[in-house]
Amino acid sequence: MSLIKNNPMRGGNKFKLGVFGANADGCLSITKHPDRWMAEWDDVVAAAQISDRAGLDFFLPLARWKGFGGETNARHISYETFTFAAALSGLTQQIALFATVHTLIVPPVYAAKALATLDHASHGRAGLNMVCGWNQPEFDMFGLTKPDQVYDQGKEWFEILKRTLSGEAPFDFKGDFFDLKGVCGAPGSVQKPHPITLSAAFSPPGRDFAAAACDCIFTTFNTHEDAAATIADFRGRVEKADGNAGLFAPVHVVCRPTTTEAEDYYESYAVTQTDNAAVDQHMAMKKKMSGSHDPAAYDLYRKRFAGGAGSYPLIGTPGQIADEMIRLNQLGFGGLALSFVNPKDELPYFCDHVLPLLTEAGLRQ
Ligand SMILES: Cc1cc2nc3c(=O)[nH]c(=O)nc-3n(C[C@H](O)[C@H](O)[C@H](O)COP(=O)(O)O)c2cc1C
């Protein structure tokens, strides 16, 4: 029997923080800035270990198979996420390690086995972020077409994964998307009934899927006002589904001793030195194929797409960033997934200066 460590995603800090996207070039940014993250493996390990030692709660990779073109072909480099998390499990002590998985691409029985392996290797620190997906050129690499009812496929996928992880006697499954015979999987997961689950989504069907089945939705917002509306809408769906899912959001962070330094750096990497062609393609593809953002966001917030793939910006001093995080927690977010232009270089200052303020505010231990 594997020894279970405390998974920081279960209990612990009231407001959870982790790093998002360090498995891919640029993290969430689209930039030609010389500090740009190239996802070199030793840098990834360094960033994960800084996060682990500082007591951050999770390390969350993104799932990407193709770049967005332009000069940098942003995101053409990315590590596969189960093996990424498993490799980091031997190099970290306490942090939760997520895999981000396309339900359309990875068969659920394979995903269950990989997740169980990660959960054992990490002594119960595994997490699963399900992405039902949007990017047809990526699906073309696998000879797949995104179905219209992608979340119905996701529901069947997740049901099979859970049953496989539970170690129940061999079972058959017949649905609209899967017809499986004699499914079994041992060992089951260390965490019972299964590792922590997120679902990255925005649309009403995506919200319903997460509300009914997951521990958390991982979703986007543009302003405090629309965040409040999204949270109220999602909570209504959770109540209807009799679930207890929470909400997490991605943000991009520039934390500096002065506001001017932070804003100047943001302007330099996300405007002056952005890769405009890659930003154009990223936004055009998302506009056409993904419901992950409010349609108005593409016109209003180009800088945010260059700065952090359309996530919310946290730009400023440690005090300003901590205040904004406190506000987002008050609105109803249980955690944030942080991206930086260069996580290895920027995490130490962030952890040393922002985390103590959140502890003082009672959001973290
Ligand atoms: C915060 C967030 C993170 C996401 N991360 C990924 C990712 O890593 N890879 C991916 O292919 N899609 C990702 N997506 C896209 C979603 O899986 C989904 O396909 C997209 O949001 C469209 O579905 P929706 O209309 O239900 O939101 C993400 C979406 C959100 C909101």
Is any atom of ligand 1 closer than 6 Å to the C-beta of 88?
Answer: no
The conformational region for residue 219 under phi > 0 = left, psi -120 to 50 = alpha, else beta, is beta
Give dist(CA 334, CA 295) in Å, integer.
25
Residue type, 67: G
Closest-lying ligand 1 atom to the alpha carbon of residue 291: 25
Is any atom of ligand 1 closer than 6 Å to the C-beta of 49?
Answer: no
Is any atom of ligand 1 closer than 6 Å to the C-beta of 250?
Answer: yes
DSSP state of 247: E
Q: Is position 365 within any domain?
A: no
pLDDT tens profile 106-115: 999 999 999 9
- Residue 3 pLDDT level (bands cut at 50, 70, 90): low
What phi and psi values does residue 328 have, to the nearest 5 degrees? -65, -35
Distance 62 CA to ligand 1 centre (A): 9
Q: Is position 319 within any domain?
A: yes
- Per-residue confidence (pLDDT) for residue 337, from 0 to 100: 98
pLDDT tens profile 191-233: 999 999 999 999 999 999 999 999 999 999 999 999 999 999 9
Q: Is position 3 within any domain?
A: no
Q: With 90 as the cut, is the pLDDT of residue 293 above it?
A: no
Q: With 60 as the cut, is the pLDDT of residue 27 above it?
A: yes
The maximal CA–CA distance of the chain, rounded, in angstroms, is 62
Which has the higher per-residue pLDDT, 283 or 2?
283
Q: Is position 120 within any domain?
A: yes
Q: With 90 as the cut, is the pLDDT of residue 169 above it?
A: no
Report the chain's mean pLDDT, rounded to a whole number.
95
What's the CATH code of the domain at 182? 3.20.20.30
pLDDT above 90 coverage of the chain, percent: 91
Q: With 60 as the cut, is the pLDDT of residue 255 above it?
A: yes
- Residue 1 pLDDT level (bands cut at 50, 70, 90): low
CA angle 45, 69, 23 (to 5 degrees): 15
Q: With 60 as the cut, is the pLDDT of residue 127 above it?
A: yes
pLDDT tens profile 315-343: 999 999 999 999 999 999 999 999 999 99
Which protein residue's CA is at the shortest distance from atom 3 of ligand 1? 200
Is any atom of ligand 1 closer than 6 Å to the C-beta of 2?
Answer: no
Is any atom of ligand 1 closer than 6 Å to the C-beta of 108?
Answer: no
pLDDT tens profile 4-17: 777 999 988 999 99
Task: Report which secondary-structure segment, H or E, holds 199.
Answer: strand 196-200
Distance 57 CA to ligand 1 centre (A): 21
Q: Is the pTM of this model over 0.75?
A: yes
Q: With 60 as the cut, is the pLDDT of residue 123 above it?
A: yes
SS3 assignment, position 239: helix
The residue range of the domain holding 223 is: 16-360
Is any atom of ligand 1 closer than 6 Å to the C-beta of 160?
Answer: no
- What lies within 8 Å, CB to CB, of 261 at 6+ separation is none
Is any atom of ligand 1 closer than 6 Å to the C-beta of 104?
Answer: no
Cα 291 to chain center, whole Å? Answer: 16
pLDDT above 70 coverage of the chain, percent: 99
Average pLDDT estimate for 285-310: 86
Q: With 90 as the cut, is the pLDDT of residue 85 above it?
A: yes
For residue 193, say if its preceding peptide bond is cis, omega within 30 degrees of 0: yes
Is any atom of ligand 1 closer than 6 Å to the C-beta of 245?
Answer: no
Distance 363 CA to ligand 1 centre (A): 27
Q: HSE, CB side, 13 Å, CA atoms: give it for residue 60.
A: 30
Distance 103 CA to ligand 1 centre (A): 12
Report whether 364 contacts 14 (CB < 8 A): yes
Average pLDDT estimate for 83-101: 98
Give the chain's domain count.
1
Report whether 72 contacts 118 (CB < 8 A): no
Report whether 88 contacts 48 (CB < 8 A): yes
Q: Is position 41 within any domain?
A: yes
Q: Is position 252 within any domain?
A: yes
Q: Is position 9 within any domain?
A: no
Q: Is position 310 within any domain?
A: yes
Please compute Rg for the chain using Cα positions. 19
Is any atom of ligand 1 closer than 6 Å to the C-beta of 100?
Answer: yes
Task: Report which secondary-structure segment, H or E, holds 183.
Answer: strand 179-183
